[in-house]
A and B are shown apart, each in its own frame.
Chain A
Amino acid sequence: MSNIPRGIRRGLFGVSLPVYALLYLPLSVIAIFSFAPSLHHPGVNLAAYGELFNDATVLAALRRSITLAFGSAILGTALGTLMGFGLSRFRPAKGGGFWVGALPSLIIYTPIIMPSLVFGISELIFFNLVHEYTGLLSAGLLTMGIAHVTFQSPYVALVVYARLTGLDPNLFEASHDLYANPIKSFLYLTIPVVRPALIGGFLLAITLSIDDFTISFFTAGPGSVTLPIYIYSAIARKGSSPEINALGSLMIATVIGVALLYYFVTRRQQQRSRQIPAVA
């Protein structure tokens, strides 16, 4: 970095300021207005927060969001972890060409690059079809959960895959060599070394689920309004309000909290068990 000329460094710094401003100004506007007594009236009070916590609809939506987030994140992490393990076994570096090497990862990553609108609509049509022919899977938290797991698991798979491919492949052989049968090797080596990735993937899955609107919107049923859907409909009905600002601020705080939690958890783990660079 230090060999970049000073003028360019200053220029880059100058460019970064408006980027940060664009990122964080709208967020701070919401936070500031959540303390305003009413829209366009500056001042500080917590009325909006008070109303929020007394609003049964909001609390119900919050409960659903949390249920959905945790339920889908647990399943999404489990599936994503298995996918990450699978991918690391068939990584292109090991050969196998397109069919064995590249294709599995392409299939798994597709949900990440797929526009969520298309994803949501196709889930909607699929669930409707299934419901029509079998009577199962009526739109509601269950269909939303399935959709969330579908888009969470590739992210988790990526995180786990990155961790596994960063490890010395001899580690697993070393554990067998040191008398660990496959089950013990999984418990005493695999789980501990991928734990930071598991925690990271789980927290990522939670934040993905909590703030998802597009896919949730298409897969939700009448009784499954989550926070993002509630916010959307509230704004559609009566525009922005201090309560919505307050709700938005709380969600921002939650996501930042989760991100910080992830940082501290993984940093502690890494300090204890920094990756040993493989030699030769």
Chain B
Amino acid sequence: MSASVSAKRGAISLTGITRIFAGTIPAVDHIDLEIQAGEFFTLLGPSGCGKTTLLRMIAGFEAPDEGRIVISGREMQGVPAHKRAVNTVFQSYALFPHLNVEQNIGFGLKMQGVKAAERKKRVDAIMDMMQIGQFATRSAAQLSGGQRQRVALARALVNEPEVVLLDEPLSALDAKLRAELQIELLRMQKRLGMTFVFVTHDQHEALVMSDRIAVMSKGRIQQVGPVLDVYEKPKNVFVAEFLGLSNIWAFEPVSAHEARTAIGVLNIGENLTGPGMAMIRPEKIWLYSDNAFEAGRPNMFLGKICEAIYMGASTQYRIELQCGQFLTAYDTNNQAAERSWRPGEAVAVELKPENIMLVEA
């Protein structure tokens, strides 16, 4: 990425960022990352993968042991948190207990020396936008979880920062509220055009919200890319499994497009150069009744339903193939769905070559 792009307001450039806590393995290990101005970028990974530490270094709460952080073209080395045009929404919300909603939201403006009249105007505007005006004089303790979340977000957005950092801001909310706020967050981000860096361990949330995702594990970035790429073409087994269910087999090539796996020989769309791992997502597997089985048709196998888990819009099946191996498949329950399957029923499955991806171990 050229320097002119990362000098844009809200662009973040991380080079060789490393953070080691006393006597342990690195929490963040030589991370290079370019976050573009105005994008909704998600750091996704299991707890302890270093995503929150990385966020805290961007915020300025912690200093990297090595590496450079550049925000909007400015080097952040030695710049304390209160001098960064970056605002954080904390997982715990961290609303000030001695201030009411209005004062909480206005805190950042007050600290920047914005005059009371101007402050009031901006606080009122953001409260309107977030529909929390009716709580203006309540203390944070008198709010519900969702309302606190909105206040925490408003408190960050009102400062019109270059970057908004969000540390699992929705994790304490129930599913319905969470879905609502996901949409609201996205709307606010598109409307204000600020760069959002969002940390979550929830792959579904990451898929819903993000323009691009970085999947992290053990302090390193496993894969960065647009949501669709990371989900459909995971780079390695970790990414494939973290972003959803997948069927993965080790293989030995038989020819340029044929691979021997535990379930049999598979035709694969890509060129095979050596042994590796092949992956297919459960929703990419075709299910037929067993009388549709054609012996000799590539990538088609007979099996038996062992388990059917109804999930509303779809059903998850665990299928035992004739060779004794298991695989997981989804079938949608929409109007086009032929039928649903019951445990014990014989089925035929087809794995189309274009849906089989090669992944690194």
Contacts and interface: CB of A to CB of B under 8 A. Distances in A.
Interface in A156-199: 167-168, 170-171, 173-181, 184-185, 188-189, 192-193, 195
Interface string A240-260: 000000000000000000000
Nearest to A275: B97
A280 B171 contact: yes
A279 B92 contact: yes
A176 B82 contact: yes
A173 B93 contact: no
Nearest to A271: B139
A177 B92 contact: no
B195 interface: no
Interface in B72-106: 80-83, 86-88, 90-99
A6 interface: no
A177 B87 contact: yes
A113 interface: no
B98 A177 contact: no
A140 to B, nearest CB: 41
B159 A176 contact: no
A278 interface: yes
A256 to B, nearest CB: 28
A237 interface: no
Contacts of B86: 177
Contacts of A180: 82, 107, 111
A175 B86 CA distance: 12
A276 B97 contact: yes
B112 interface: yes
Residue from B91, B110, B111, B159 whose CB has the most chain A CB atoms within 10 Å = B111
B286 interface: no
A274 interface: yes
A175 B107 contact: yes
A276 B150 CA distance: 15
B208 interface: no
B141 A275 contact: yes
A272 interface: yes
A54 interface: no
Contacts of B172: 279-280
Given A173-B94, A174-B94, A188-B111, A276 B141 contact: yes
A192 B100 CA distance: 13
Contacts of B304: none
A193 B82 contact: no
Contacts of A167: 97
Contact of A274 (B92, B139, B171): B139
Residue from B95, B96, B159 whose CB has the most chain A CB atoms within 10 Å = B96
A3 interface: no
A273 interface: yes
B90 A174 contact: yes
A276 B95 contact: yes
Contact of B108 (A179, A192, A276): A179
B51 interface: no
Interface residues of A, number: 28
A65 to B, nearest CB: 34
A170 B159 CA distance: 19
B92 A272 contact: no
A195 B59 CA distance: 28
Nearest to B141: A274
Contacts of A177: 59-61, 81-82, 86-88
Nearest to A195: B98
A177 B96 CA distance: 13
Contacts of B276: none
A180 B97 CA distance: 16
B111 A184 contact: yes
Contacts of B356: none
A148 B46 CA distance: 53
B155 interface: yes
B98 A192 contact: yes
A42 to B, nearest CB: 53
Contacts of B159: 178-179
A178 B97 contact: no
Nearest to A176: B81
B61 A168 contact: no
A171 B107 contact: no
A174 B155 CA distance: 10
Interface string B52-77: 00000001110000000000000000
B71 to A, nearest CB: 14
A193 to B, nearest CB: 5
7 contacts: A170-B92, A173-B88, A178-B82, A179-B112, A192-B98, A276-B140, A280-B91
Interface of B: 59-61, 80-83, 86-88, 90-99, 107-108, 110-112, 139-142, 145, 148, 155, 159, 168, 171-172
Interface of A: 167-168, 170-171, 173-181, 184-185, 188-189, 192-193, 195, 272-276, 278-280
What are the 7 tightest A-B residue pairs by CB atom distance, in nearest-first order?
A: A178-B108, A274-B141, A170-B94, A174-B94, A273-B98, A179-B111, A176-B81
